[in-house]
Structure 1
Amino acid sequence: MSQTATILVIDDEPQIRKFLRISLSSQGYKVLEAATAGEGLSQAALNKPDLVVLDLGLPDMDGQQALAELREWSQVPVLVLSVRAGEADKVLALDGGANDYVTKPFGIQEFLARLRALLRQAPAGEAAPALVQVGQLRIDLALRRVSLGDAEVALTRKEYAVLAQLARHPGRVITQQQLLKDVWGPSHVDDSHYLRIVVAHLRQKLADEPAAPRYIVTEAGVGYRLMG
């Protein structure tokens, strides 16, 4: 990837953001900044950066939680930059979807080298959309918000998880087994009745008729797809 890449820095320390802005800009990168997790997630959704530098000690949300929310809809490379030097914090972040971990204080040359390595590894191809719209149905994967027309739809955690998984691949069939594995876990791949109940509740809340679906289509014996 070229050095015209866009880097989003999410860190509540102004001096760190300034230091990274100067260092990254001098290398030809475009730099976006956010001081809170909420602002950072919004920036990531709107501007689709090529890499995110994420602090864990954010004022509005722990960085580990911010990482988990980001990973629900984006596979952008994430370089964690944190004062937390403990092995447990590093393992939690890496298992949670971070691509690399640098502790503060840090050397800028090593930081830049790690950043370049992540950009080289970044997968090619179009990122999953953060906002999906099908007719009157809007699914905001960044904000975890679902609305029908002007009204927000209240969903349970499982209902949202199933709908979000379908929304990440609009128009494509997701098998029952894949949905069960992703939402309930690998030990539940045969519990198709769980999925049928959740889809029935979703259809009820979305006023979606199974016989003439506008949003969720059943592919008999295979799975479900969100209208593309």
Structure 2
Amino acid sequence: MSPRRTTPLADDVSPDRPALARGAGQHVLVVAGDPGLAELLSTILELAGYRISLTGTAAEALARVAKRSFDLVVFDTDVPDRASLGGEHRPRLPHRPPVLLLTECDSLPRLVPELGPGERDYVTKPFRVAEVLARIQVLLRDARTGPPRSTPLHYGDLVLDDTVCRAHRGTRALDLTPAEYRLLRHLLVNAHRVLSKEQIGRYVWGDHRGDNAIEQLVSRLRRKVDREAPALIHTRRGFGYWLGRADPNSPGGDGS
């Protein structure tokens, strides 16, 4: 009988499934204290086309990021010294790579801000290989094509600050989940452009989800963004969703 897997993996790669997202030689730092998890992640990412460096502690990860430029960090939040990242004597980071967190907690804004206060995302454990690879690809794409992280994104009184992953509508802070923040960011950078459900699903989750999941996500976001101000998020029936001020010439004038 083969030994029981103890690593936090939800499913295996199947030949019947679509091809997994692949890298192009980007340098990824994997931070995992569990040797089994470290070996699993290294194998997955190397097979997917990434160059891998490994460390088992948060302190060593911080030291490595301070010394050299990584394209991305995959960080298991169960490393025993994670709390040390908040210390007063941590080195100043000349380069802040995007960070993918592997966690059992949904509190993204409180997780490891020192490693990468810009682009951040998370995958809950037990994780799926396809989701990890898809989220890595989205983070790398955003880091390559996004606007400078020091410049908040804005549309009217709606402001998104990627350095802290926070959003405001006027003076009101928006309490957004990571998926809601990604959706709002995608709508904002494509203001006045109708985005299909397939486009939204691939950006938010890395793959296409059912229409109902996207409709529910948009509905939750709309309640938070448009609760006390003129509506910014609109529906173009049969086509998708767009963000902007509604007027007779807008692309979504047939529904909100």
Question: Given the two structures, how large is their TM-score scaled by the length of structure 2?
Answer: 0.41
Q: Output the TM-score relative to the length of structure 1.
A: 0.46
